[in-house]
Amino acid sequence: MSDRSTTTGPAARPEESGEALFDRADEYDAMLQQGLKLSGEDKHFFIHGRLADLKDHLPAAFEPRRILDFGCGIGDTSVLLAQSFPGARVVGAETAEQALVHARRHHGSEAVSFVSVDEVADLEPFDLAYVNGVFHHVPPPQRLRAARLIHDALRPGGCFALFENNPWNPGTRMVMRRIPFDRDAVTLTPPESRALLRSAGFAPLATRYLFIFPRPLRALRFTEALLARLPLGAQYWVLGTRGGGHGVG
């Protein structure tokens, strides 16, 4: 369900660190699907679901021209962000070198480029930062620093969309246990994510929950929009702004 769950592969050895796993970009899909198959869906279902909800609930008249995909992994979401926001330039940022190599080879274009996270501070400001499944891989003492990096990369009034796996959902915990690079992740509860945004200087606007029903219960998915404020979904996202001043749909 995550994008930073994006740069790894199957049969992880217990002694391997998370960063070592994240460098195994070519094996990512097989690893991720070990967990996602419990839902009956693949990664594309979740990517499209996140982006659809994001577009529907950004502030009114908010049209990002520069988008940061922070922790972009192998770049699958970066290219779809460019398609979802025509005319926007998307920059994917990642720490794992092999993931960047993969992303540039398969998804680089005039509209989509990829950089090391270390380069983000030197780039032009962004209007929107999309971050999925990254912070549960960041050691808790380092999370505020990462959130402040994103804050400083945004222009005043820019939006930060933080997507995370919902530890209150039993299905989420089952999925993460089956994915080698997620087994030792330290998840964030929704209140923890909101507090993180506040500490980094953002004004949190809303929290929404996604992906309640697995594929065998897909006939019930039409109700998920009505349940998005309840902490039931496999994932949630918190929308914040740098400096506040926006409303949210």
CA distance 164 to 133: 5
- Transcribe 170-212 into DSSP letters: HHHHHHHHHSGGGTT-----HHHHHHHHHHTTEEEEEEEEE--
**pLDDT band for position 175 (50/70/90)?**
confident
**pLDDT band for position 6 (50/70/90)?**
very low
In angstroms and rounded to an integer, the radius of gyration of the C-alpha atoms of the chain is: 17
- The contacts of residue 105 (CB under 8 Å, 6+ apart) are none
pLDDT in tens, 214-225: 989 999 999 999
For the sheet containing 66-70, what is the strand order? 112-116, 89-94, 66-70, 126-132, 154-165, 235-242, 202-210
What value does the mean pLDDT of the chain take?
85
Percentage of the chain exceeding pLDDT 90 = 67
β-bridge partners, 66: 89
Give the domains, in start order, of the chain with CATH numbers: 18-242 (3.40.50.150)
pLDDT in tens, 178-230: 766 677 889 999 999 999 999 999 999 999 999 999 989 999 999 999 999 99
β-bridge partners, 128: 67, 159
Give yes or no for a contact between 42 and 170, defined as CB atoms under 8 angstroms apart: no
Give yes or no for a contact between 44 and 83, defined as CB atoms under 8 angstroms apart: no
DSSP 247: -
| Segment holding 98, helix H or strand E | helix 97-107
Give yes or no for a contact between 166 and 66, defined as CB atoms under 8 angstroms apart: no
CA distance 127 to 201: 16
CA angle at 60 for the pair 59 and 62, rounded to the nearest 5°: 70
β-strand pairing of 66-70 with 89-94? parallel
CA angle at 129 for the pair 126 and 132, rounded to the nearest 5°: 160
CA distance 228 to 116: 34
pLDDT in tens, 111-132: 999 999 999 999 999 999 999 9
- The contacts of residue 113 (CB under 8 Å, 6+ apart) are 89, 90, 91, 92, 104
In degrees rounded to 5, what are phi and psi of residue 69? -100, 90
5-9, 18-22, 26-30, 150-154: which range is least confident on average? Answer: 5-9
